[in-house]
Amino acid sequence: MLREDARKLQLTSVVDNRPLTPDVYHLILKAPKLAAEAKPGQFVMVKVAPGLEPTLRRPFSLHRIDREMGQVEIIYQVVGRGTDILTARRAGEGIEILGPLGNGFCLQEAKLIGLVGGGMGIAPLLAAAEQAVQEGREIVAFLGARTGDYLLAQEEFERLGQVFVVTDDGSVGEKALVSKPLQDYLQTKQLDLILGCGPTPMLKALKSIADTQGTLAQLSLEQRMGCGVGACLGCAFPVKANTPEGYIYKRVCYDGPVFWAHEVLFSLPNEAAKQGGCSGGQS
């Protein structure tokens, strides 16, 4: 671990850890130092068990940041051994975390901000939405999920601004991809900034929409992370650069996870040429 990142090691305590669905949990941590320093879009690496196993920490985005209470909230899905172990942690137990890590969202001077979230990608957008509203900005949220059970924080977003929801099965809202209500909205209105987080196909579509509309957009990329501090290079991702190849690799954990959409390459230039298409932005 890099020396400067070692200073971000903190011992937090569990306030609550309860299921929202059979495989999605809401974890609240008492973490005054983290809450004071963290920015929307950043993440933490969590040591899910007090012993030596599992060795690697797990990365989780920050769902909410409560500076007054000195608490942060995380929403996580049980997808393997580490997250399954985390579900057993109870109120009062200590959990070691490393954070805040990475670069968060940059709201700039935007007055009307669109937040586009798909599935678990909805989670980190609430912190950004709450900050935006606290600063006197207006937000509109576009939320999509497999079913209504996985539409995270819908009521919280509705307290902050206008919300459009879609599901894959049509159980809540329109049966559509989350890019559809965004495209419909942009036919009559203009957003100053779009923030997106979700599966790669959704982010590709969002990049294409932003490019077409000429709207600034930031994407929070989802990559598997080993260390979380840029040392292992396991989360390297291509971005545009003034090089002979036209791109360089950046570390999602250290240089991101939030990148400007116009920088991101979802396919390399030579791959796009072989496919007869353009690099990125297609869904």
Q: What is the pLDDT of residue 40?
A: 98
- Tell me the residue type at 130: E
Q: Spell out the per-residue pLDDT of the chain, length 283, in tens.
A: 455 567 889 999 999 999 999 999 999 999 999 999 999 999 999 999 988 778 888 999 999 999 999 999 999 999 999 999 999 999 999 999 999 999 999 999 999 999 999 999 999 999 999 999 999 999 999 999 999 999 999 999 999 999 999 999 999 999 999 999 999 999 999 999 999 999 999 999 999 999 999 999 999 998 777 777 777 878 889 999 999 999 999 999 889 899 999 999 998 876 543 332 222 332 3
Closest CA to 206 of 282, 130, 139: 282
The predicted structure's pLDDT at residue 81: 93
Label each residue of 163-212 as H, E or C.
EEEEECCCCCCEECCCHHHHHHHHCCCCCCEEEEECCHHHHHHHHHHHHH
User: Under DSSP, is residue 237 helix (H, G, I), strand (E, B) or coil?
Assistant: strand
The tokens describing 130, both together, are 């709450």
**Domains of the chain (ranges, CATH numbers):** 3-101 (2.40.30.10), 112-275 (3.40.50.80)
Distance CA 198, CA 221 (A): 8
Counted residue by residue, the chain has a size of: 283
Side-chain half-sphere exposure of 72, counting CA atoms within 13 A: 31
How many angstroms separate the CA atoms of 245 and 241, rounded? 8
Distance CA 197, CA 40 (A): 12
pLDDT at 280: 30
Question: What is the spatial distance between Cα 229 and Cα 5, in angstroms, rounded to a whole number?
Answer: 7
Note the pLDDT of residue 233.
78
Tokens of 183: 């495209």
Distance CA 38, CA 33 (A): 9
Residues 6+ apart with CB under 8 A from 111: 137, 138, 192
* Amino acid code (one letter) for 186: L
Rounded Cα–Cα distance for residues 104 and 220 (Å)? 8
Closest of 138, 148, 144 to residue 117, by C-alpha: 144
Q: At 41, list the tokens.
A: 């879009």
